Structure 1
Amino acid sequence: MVGAGLAGLVAAARLSAHGLSVTVLEAADKVGGRMAEQEHDGYRLDHGTHLLNTAYPELRRTLGLGGPEDLELRPLSPDVMVHSDGRRYRVGAPTSARAAFGAARAPIGRPWDRARLGANLARLAATPVDRLLARPERTTADALRERGIPAATVDGFLRPLLTALLSDPALGTSSRVADLVLRGYARGGLCLPARGVGAVPLAVAERLPAGTVRLGVRVTAIAANGVETERHGRFGCRAVVVATDARSAGELLPGLHQPAHHPVTTYYHVAETSPVAEPVLVLDATPGALVSHTLVLSDVHRSYAPSGALVASTVLGRAAETHTTEAEAEAGKAAEPEVRRSLARLYDTDTSGWRFLTVRHFADALPAMPPPHVFRRPVRVLHGLYVCGDHRGTSTVQGALTSGRRAADALLRDLGLLRSPATTPDELAA
């Protein structure tokens, strides 16, 4: 196994459960890939692209994860807070009475438009995945316009929400993906583990046999019967699974599909007290806004911050691209004052006393999913050589989990240890 991100760990766990001896080689000094646990001065840093949803079927299906005994999932508020034109209002899924009341007062169209929004979300929640995938595919922006959804509803709620969940302000993502994301939002609830999102890959890694994962081992070349490493020689094997990010996988497997990516930068501040005192996702619906969304992580769980309130704020697209390396992102203080001013407006509070903690940047944070989007890219390259990761399905935790299971199952079938694919209709839920 090359790579100890979430998909690779899931694949390793499934193979180990079928009696195979597995070695996972990871170049970094910790497991998790882009979800790896990160701390700074005792503060737990969850990146702005990672939110879990209780509707992800793969959380429980893959390894029984998702219960409080495993991840200690902490729910976010069932509704979101949107800032637009100097106003803040709450909107959310139809399952929340508070959100329904907030939507009735929100400036997102006429009264019947707001009622129609709730009805549409409820209908999406009840629609089977296969029916959503049978819909005509276009960009999300085009689909919302062609469906006759009022601009006030799109710009006042759907666009900022989808921007936060897809990291795609232009809404160029496949409409089928967006429908699945909204379906999950309406069916489940946004949440984070009490110990940070890095607890997800750690929970998977802890179920592997001792010695399975080897950190600090960089793979430089692969074949179906082994891999070459930078300083640790050759590892022979019966099969290889490449479970890295898309760019690294393409370097090891030339010709592999390379998606475009959405760059994401997350700024972290410490306030003396929380500006909202609840774990609510705050969205900026202002056209051209610098900050896409922000969340007080310490309101999700106190352990995120040893003192004060830890605020994570996400910048997308062009503004994020001004930092071209991780080092520049860490040192990139130039945009921080503007981010701070944006937060003062979003939270309607004085942020001048907030302490700037740090900033994390990922140029390749999330693989883009424009139409036509392939929900199940092949995970079998040839007998003995496989690939998995969120770039083989959907750019979500659900997508990474599913791709890891698919790659493991393909290998097990080739070895004659699995007779049929373990698939379910909802495995494509985004």
Structure 2
Amino acid sequence: MTDVVIVGAGLAGLACARELVRQGVECVVLDAADAVGGRVRTDRVDGFQIDRGFQVYLTAYPEAQRVLDHDALDLRPFEPGALVWRRGAFERVGDPLRRPLQAVPTLLADVGSPADKLRVLRLRQSVTRGGVDALWRRPEMTTERALRDRYGFSERMVDRFFRPFLGGVFLDRSLAESSRSFEFYFRMFSTGAAAVPAAGMQAIPEQLAAGLPAGTVRLDTPVAAVREGAVETEGGEALACRAVVVATDASAAAALVPGLSEPGWKGTLQLAWAAPAPPRDEAVLMLDGEGAGPVNNVQVMSAVAPTYAPGGQALVTASILGEAPAARAAPDAAARAQLRGWFGDEVDAWRLLAVTAVPHALPRLRSLAPPERPARVSDGLYVTGDWRRNGSINGALVAGRHAAEAVAQDVGAGRNG
């Protein structure tokens, strides 16, 4: 008998365990995988670190600041802004407030009018005013409508900058995501940095797991069924408990807990190459501003964090969103054909390291009203995850903590009774 069994050692499950331990509630975390992290994983191939899907950590995440040790993660930041590929050249869209020397190139960039550039500053002022929680109470609409109607951006600015930039964030260029999510993300980008840990994104869940008592997390332990008061593993073990928290992704949760409403998924295809030299030696996001595809964004990860590649080599990664037919058939060839126009024939010398399909990269949450679904689904049974709040690292951590608070209150009441 243990107080709580948590199914899933992703960020939400680990955050839930962390809070339960802090409150003196015994728990065990079960996961079918061979490592913690859930959808946040880092593969190591020939001395390169390759994060599954293009993932970054935003240093302004408020919940993550509460629970993570940034110094220990040794975060390596991207440059603010982006380079947008347009008509045979890159145009810089920077952050003049943090990089004053980028003001002129940003103003001249052909991704929007000068008035659009001023609207970006007004957008920044709007989303950074007041507390973060107030953003989740603003009137909700699609991101595209908010950009056009609420903030007044031109069609040119929406299509050439926001569509590829937010496409990389939401894994969807349609801009159908909730405006609340967009405004939250834009605040995070405006007040902090996009970064990666020196040891890869998996260092984040590993840090959370390292703070738990020894033996709390049990890997390679798939769960077959959950019910009030017990969890059954596929190996035939039955664990009795006072409460069960299902902290898996939405699809796995729906399979374990009948009646759950499962959202759809947004996927991505990630390509990684070893290059003799970086095509552009900047820690900056490079975007397709023409919509020609199939690649939406490219980044030289070894320029962001040299630890991502062995000495004398560069790690280049690219993200393909959705279901581009050419990319499905031959993603490496389709991506190189596009990037040859960006970087020239040097792409032919790149060695393919990995093509990683991540069909369940982000939950498809068109509406965030209310901002979070209740964790308690029945007596002794709870469900948590970013898909219960918003699809982000911060959303997973907050949802996990909230589930732990609900569990601790109920388990404590049961003990007292």
> Normalising to structure 1: TM-score of the pair?
0.89
- 1:143 match: 146
Structure 1 segment 26-425 matched on structure 2, within 5 A: 26-61=31-66, 63=67, 65-68=68-71, 70-96=72-98, 97-147=100-150, 148-307=152-311, 308-319=313-324, 334-347=330-343, 350-371=346-367, 373-416=369-412
Q: Deviations over 1:328-375 (max 9, x none)?
A: xxxx7x221111122233345620111011111111110012135442
- TM-fit CA distance, 1:274: 1.1
Instruction: Deviation per CA, 1:206-257: give whole Å up to 9, x if none.
Output: 1111111111111011012111111141111111111101000000011112
Note the aligned Cα RMSD (angstroms): 2.0
Q: 2:18 aligns with which of 10, 13, 16?
A: 13
SS across alignment from 1:351: helix
Displacement, 1:44? 0.8
Shift of 1:413: 1.2
AA in 2 matched with 1:251: A
User: What is the distance in 1 between the residues matched to 2:247 and 2:165?
Assistant: 30
TM-fit CA distance, 1:320: 8.1
How far off its partner does 1:94 sit?
Answer: 4.7
Report the Cα distance in structure 2 between the residues aligned to 1:414 and 1:347, rounded to whole angstroms. 58
Q: Structure 1: which amino acid aligns with 2:301? A: L
State the identity as a percent: 40
Report the Cα distance in structure 2 between the residues aligned to 1:202 and 1:342, rounded to whole angstroms: 36
Pick which of 153-162 and 396-405 moved more. 153-162
Letter of the aligned partner of 2:125 in structure 1?
A
Deviation (angstroms), 1:417: 7.4
The one-letter code sitting in structure 2 at the alignment partner of 1:53 is L
The aligned amino acid for 1:247 is: S
**Which amino acid counterpart does residue 187 of structure 2 have in structure 1?**
R
What is the one-letter code of the residue matched to 1:312? T
Deviations 1:131-183 (A, max 9, x none): 43343322111222223211122122222111111111111101111111112
Aligned-residue offset at 1:321: 11
Amino acid at match of 2:92: R
* Contact 2:245/2:384 (<8 A) preserved: yes
SS of residue matched to 1:33: coil
Change (3 A) 1:400 1:244: same
Take 2:305 and 2:325, find their aligned partners in 1: how far apart are those partners? 27
1:373–1:276 CA distance, 2 compared to 1 (3 A): farther
Distance 2:82 2:345 in 1: 18
Distance in 1, matches of 2:53 and 2:103, equals 26
Following TM superposition, by how much is the alpha carbon of 1:284 offset from its aligned partner in structure 2, in angstroms? 0.9
Q: Give the residue type in structure 1 aligned to 2:18.
A: A
Instruction: Give CA deviations for 1:278-312 in whole Å, capped at 9, x if unaligned.
Output: 21111111124211111111112222112410111
Runs (5+) with no aligned partner, structure 2:
1-5
Q: Using the alignment, how far apart are the partners of 1:134 and 1:215 within structure 2?
A: 39
- Structure 1, unmatched stretches of 5+, are 324-331, 419-430
**d(CA) in 2 for partners of 1:411 and 1:222?**
16
Question: Does the CA contact (< 8 Å) of 2:225 and 2:232 recur in 1?
Answer: yes
Partner deviation per Cα, 1:78-109 (whole Å, 9 max, x = no partner): 12111122231111345322443332121133
Distance 1:195 1:402 in 2: 24
CA drift at 1:42? 2.1
Q: Separation in 2 of the partners of 1:384 and 1:320?
A: 46
Q: Distance in 1 between matches of 2:135 and 2:25?
A: 37
> What is the identity, as a one-letter code, of the residue corresponding to 1:351?
V
Change in 2 beyond 3 A, CA 1:258/1:374 = farther
In 2: Cα distance, 1:320 partner to 1:247 partner: 25
Rounded Cα–Cα distance in structure 2 between residues aligned with 1:49 and 1:409:
32
- Alignment check: 8 A CA contact 1:11 1:404 kept: yes
Question: Which letter maps to 2:57?
Answer: L
